[in-house]
Structure 1
Amino acid sequence: MEPDALHEPGSETSSEASSETSSETSSEAERDADARALASTLRLRILRLCLDEPLTNREIAVRLEKNPATVLHHVRTLVERGFLRAEPVRRGARGSREVPYRATGRSWTSPSFPGKSRILIDTFLEEVALVEPDGVDATRLGLRLDDAGLDELRGRLHAVLQDFAARAPDPDGTPYSVFLAVHEDVSRRPQAG
């Protein structure tokens, strides 16, 4: 007999209600912990650096021009939340033990959280500042859409990005980043008169 067949549909035993509440609280706590882990431009930049190749804490610190101890704190947080994973230990210079880390790709599918857009914008600005202006392909477009048009635009853009995200990386390819923002253009609202 199925466990659900032991009582009326829609009714809950106290243990089921407690378990469900505990599960909801747990998943909410997990989402909050993930949000805290991703609420840092430095952590997002670490994830991007470790996307194509595993890097040690020291290598990450050098590329970001940061103190290795500071970077290690952020790396450990990302590992703990499953956004980075430790690769097999390797021997470095003079036989030292090095742990390389690789991005898991989990941040791409993480739910949104308050402030996420601001963190993404700030991270983009830090990264794009490192690129020569001619190396950035930027477009700006003003539209006037109803809710259905906005939903269609977002859906189609998301589908294109998802298609490329699902493709296997070309080992001989050049690394690129895509930043996309759709926002209400508040400067074009009709002025109250």
Structure 2
Amino acid sequence: MRSIEWSSGRWHRQPVRTVAEADGGLSVEPGAGSDLWRHTSYGFVHDDAPALLADFPVGSAVEVDFRLNYAEQFDQAGVLVRVDDRNWVKAGVEVSDGQPQVGAVVTREFSDWSVAPVPQWAGRQVTVRVSRAGNALTVRARAAGEPWRLVRLAPLPPDAPASAGPYCCSPSRGGLTVHFGGWRQGPADPTLHPPE
């Protein structure tokens, strides 16, 4: 995997502020009430979360590291894969019902949502990896020192022009700051299931 310079990405929705950190990371403050969601259950459409994106062709994978140091309802960070305003996938860790939950939202006009609790990840560095091969996205995530866990397999047409990179948002408040430690791109995973 090769590192992607923060300066080489393009913002989908500008954050309130960014700070380049001495350790090479990037701190990002999203706007108050920012979110990514379309219609399902809640009835609203939000497309105002800041995301730093680069081209994401078939045959590649993207990884994003961030510190899970947030704890308010619906605070979240991870990877956004964006085709257009009606077709996108966000994957990462979101605080819901009082604890961090790893999961993904797949949107094809309407959003869905799946999560699993990961309270043991609080305060640690988390890496989200999205691999694009054929007609599929494979989402994996892990906390530092742990093995990858499969989060989601989702369809994405191979001819769809997509971009991907780190995102964050805070649907229920302002003042969130997320520290991203790295952003990398490399070859797609060779298989969905690793060998035994």
Question: TM-score over 0.5 for the alignment?
Answer: no
TM-score by length of 1: 0.25
TM-score by length of 2: 0.24
Q: For CA contacts below 8 A with separation 6 or more, give which structure has more relative contact order.
A: 2
CA radius of gyration, larger in:
1
